[in-house]
Structure 1
Amino acid sequence: MTTDVRVLRQADWDEWYENLLRAFGGVAESSEERALWNVLTEYDRSLGVWDGESCVGTAGAFSFRVTVPGGASVPAAGITAVSVAATHRRRGILTAMMRRQLDDIRTWGEPLAVLTASEPAIYGRFGYGIGTLQISAEIDTDRVRLSVPPGTDDVRLRYAVPAEVLDACEAVYARLVPQRPGMLARRSGWEGLGLLDSEDQRGGASPLQCVVAERDGEVVGYTRFRVKPEWGPTGHNGAVMMVDVEGLDPAVRAALWRFLFDIDLTSTLRTRGRPVDEAWQHMVSDIRRCQLRMKDSLHVRVVDVGAALEARTYQAPVDVVFEVEDSFCPWNEGRWRLTGDAKGAVCARTEDAPDLALSVRELGAAYLGGVSLASLAAGGAVRELRGGALAEASTAFTSVVAPWLPHGF
């Protein structure tokens, strides 16, 4: 094999990006979306694989900060734009890029790597575990009623031009980031993701619309959505296509959901990528008519076991020794003693007898608190070596709210 893995140069971006698009089907993006990803690309953290003059592999790593249990914002490499040309399969190109990335991430001092997977089966062998899930729904708003909490009627809603209220919406989002594990602190430029509105993204629906929620003149929530008008023999059958909805308290969120339920000439509300524990599921009159679907979302890779486990807090006191297997990143292998509680934690190498044995993949899956170590053990992926250690660790790792990735990358 004569391929060469190297850091992406700005002059090579167009060819690099075209190779990525071709690997995902070859459908051209809008100029607006392409320009945004060009601006967001971090060249010194992106890799290209070249066979002579041709780009045959791509991979990038955004410099993110992700919320972990306890509210800390932890540096994480957001792995993105991973592709290998169909002409160069089974030559070790993906493995070479994954190897280079994780070595780089370690030198950058970032304890975590995260990604969303087009094919979830690919990344487990590189130590990534599924750390968050998400739900989508198609709600029959003609037949499903929504009960709202006290204070909902005190929230004022108004239509707004999405770009004109972007700063206010981003301020709401920023206040929510520390409250839920898995959320990403948005760096400058990323706010543009919420305004993308090309024809191919609409699916026959309207241009992007926005409604903000206010209390005492302050924006305390927002929703962005599209409406797809449809008519049948019996009348209207339109759909609301929710893009996002955020609010600072239950009444604000309920007011926004109620608004989406009640838009004239629509009978369906379609949502995607929402938290699995979102409160609207307990406010609807008939959950079966909401057609819930669940899928994987954020895949988590622990790059530095000690630093990662020390960065978060724990729901209950914990003192366990993990025997960690990590053949792809051998610096993680061995025994680690974790002691911690709701105030903080220490994780260091030890020669003490292990209490639990697992691979780094399971550690990543459980890291954000949404996947139970006990459930992983029930599937044979975690072994209990000291009686009671599994229950202790499972309880400690749990998050009060389900982890959630608010948007892709």
Structure 2
Amino acid sequence: MTLIDAREIAADPLSTARLGEAGLDYRVIDMADDLAAAAFARAGERGFLNPDPAPEAVAEIREAFAARRNIGVFDPASTGLKGVPVATVNSFVTPLTVPGGTLDMWAVSAVTVNGTHRRRGIARNLLEGELRSAVAAGAAIAGLTVTEATLYGRYGFGPAVPVSTFTVDARRAGWAAVPSPGRLETIEREQLAEALAELHERTRVARAGQIPGWNRRWRQLAGLAAADERGRNVRGVRYLDEDGVMQGVMAYTLEPLTGAFGADLVVRHVIGTTPEGMRAVWGFAVNHDLVRTVTAALRPADDPLPLLVADQRAVQNVVHDHGWLRILDVPAALTARTYRAPLDIVIAVTDPYGYASGSWRLRIGQDGTAAVAEDAGVPDVEMGVAALSTLYLGGVRATALRVAGLLRTASKEAAVEIDDAFRSITAPALTIWY
């Protein structure tokens, strides 16, 4: 498959004009330009409340962003930070795993607006410009991960990939899982980065919602990023099966307790490619000597951890949104995935931007493949594009959306039929930020 290259899409003309009328300059950043790249990196780090990046950190950011289309918004009237954008966004096209295959997704990242320039329409023009650019590139879907959950619904994004954050009382939990054959071993941080990359790539196509990772992401999780002052605290362990094949890996830190000897174990990333691998690495964490709690974020909703311990009440599970999707082309998106049950239904979709608007007949055969066509008949269900995007991967129930009033005119029976068709074998997951 040949992916679209986001860098081939010019800065959105409408956002350029609108922000120009407000006295702002919206343009693509040339990451080959040393000063421009450093300024973009500085603005992005500040936007996420991080310190100004040192030169070696700028080099890492520059390398990671070289494959992306990077856009900055500049205020020519500013006499403060010369050459530093007051807002940023970047985008790239990546394979999104969907049930039964993959779909090219326009991934939006690095959305920041300086506090000095709030309420000036910048965020709106950044996001609307990305949607128009995605459509111009022929992408059927856009996606992002969010730090603030209330911002993106207005642009048609829906929370399609819920994830869990676990907190385990390790002193109380106990262990009840079947032992795993094979062995665990401690590894160096360089080995850890390589193991995370290898196992993520090996597993991402098996679970809807995942995307490929990249070198800087794995080096960050392994504590090797230049800006990570506490990187030396990161430790790694991997599980090898009876044949010596790596089937599990965990990156973690041990945070010392105050006033007592011991630590809280914080999982940075964990991957198990087999049930044995998953049990082995979770068992390592929960059974670690002198550990009070184990915390782990961005876990799939069906992670087995609560079932592995003797006292399930020792595991707190907070479910929250993480991966947000935005369908742009209904026929292309709905036919890109497979389904678990037959369905014949007419869905009327409303979209404030018009990209997905229409009345669509979705017919799913016994083989799980779908056909989509416009249909002028009376719809069985009406929903906004954000609701359809939320449903897309099968990680959020149609029956729940119906109760919430987001599936309008749908009967309970229709919602159940949608759930039967859309549900995925395993819960969707997105175990990284992008």
Instruction: State the TM-score, normalized to the length of structure 2.
Output: 0.86
Counterpart-to-counterpart distance in 2, 1:79 and 1:174: 21
1:172 aligns to 2:199 (yes or no): yes
> Unaligned 5+ residue runs, structure 1?
none
- The verdict on how the C-alpha distance between 1:34 and 1:298 changes in structure 2, with shifts beyond 3 A counting, is farther
Is 2:164–2:299's contact at 8 Å kept on the other side of the alignment? yes
Question: Is it true that 1:184 corresponds to 2:211 in the alignment?
Answer: yes
Distance 1:273 1:55, change over 3 A: same
1:98 to 116, 119, 127: 127
Tell me the equivalent position of 1:311: 336
Match of 1:59 among 74, 80, 89: 89
Q: Does 1:374 align with 2:399?
A: yes
- Whole-angstrom distance in 2 between the partners of 1:29 and 1:287: 42
- Output the CA distance in 2 between the equivalents of 1:29 and 1:188: 18
Offset of residue 266 of structure 1? 1.9
Which amino acid is 2:63 matched to?
A: V
Q: How big is each residue's C-alpha offset from its partner over 1:177-214, in whole Å with a ceiling of 9 and x where there is no partner?
A: 121111112356654343334698577x9621111111
Q: Are the structure 2 counterparts of residues 60 and 69 from structure 1 closer, same or farther at C-alpha, using a change threshold of 3 Å?
A: same
Which of 75, 83, 92 matches 2:112?
A: 83
Output aligned runs, 1:146-161, within 5 Å: 146-149=175-178, 152-161=179-188
Distance 1:31 1:370, change over 3 A: farther
Letter in 2 for 1:238: A
- Distance in 2, Cα, partners of 1:299 & 1:63: 15
Deviation at 1:15, TM superposition (A): 2.0
| Other-structure match for 2:71 | 47
TM-score normalized by the length of structure 1: 0.90
Structure 2 residue 31 is matched with structure 1 residue 2? no
C-alpha distance after superposition, 1:131-164 (max 9, x if no partner)? 1122222211111112113xx3412111111313
| Percent identity for Structure 1 against Structure 2 | 28
Instruction: Quote the Cα distance in structure 2 between the aligned partners of 1:20 and 1:173.
Output: 26
Alpha-carbon shift at residue 56 of structure 1 (Å): 2.2
The size of the alignment, in residue pairs, is: 402
| Gapped regions of structure 2 (runs ≥ 5) | 1-21, 77-82
How many angstroms apart in 2 are the aligned matches of 1:250 and 1:385? 39
Q: Aligned partner of 1:143: which letter? A: R
Q: CA RMSD in A?
A: 2.4
Verify the 8 A CA contact 1:127 1:301 in the aligned structure 2: yes
Aligned CA distance change for structure 1 residues 138 and 202 (closer, same or farther; 3 Å):
farther
The within-5 A match list for 1:6-405 is 6-10=27-31, 11=33, 12-25=36-49, 27-29=51-53, 33-42=57-66, 45-52=69-76, 55-70=85-100, 72-149=101-178, 152-164=179-191, 166-187=193-214, 190-197=217-224, 207-215=233-241, 216-230=243-257, 232=259, 236-328=261-353, 330-341=354-365, 342-385=367-410, 388-405=413-430
- Conserved in 2, the CA contact under 8 Å of 1:220 and 1:248? yes
Distance 1:200 1:148, change over 3 A: farther
Shift of 1:252: 1.5
Counterparts in 2 of 1:192 and 1:285: CA distance versus 1, 3 Å:
same
Task: State the alpha-carbon separation in 1 of the partners of residues 333 and 245 from structure 2.
Answer: 37
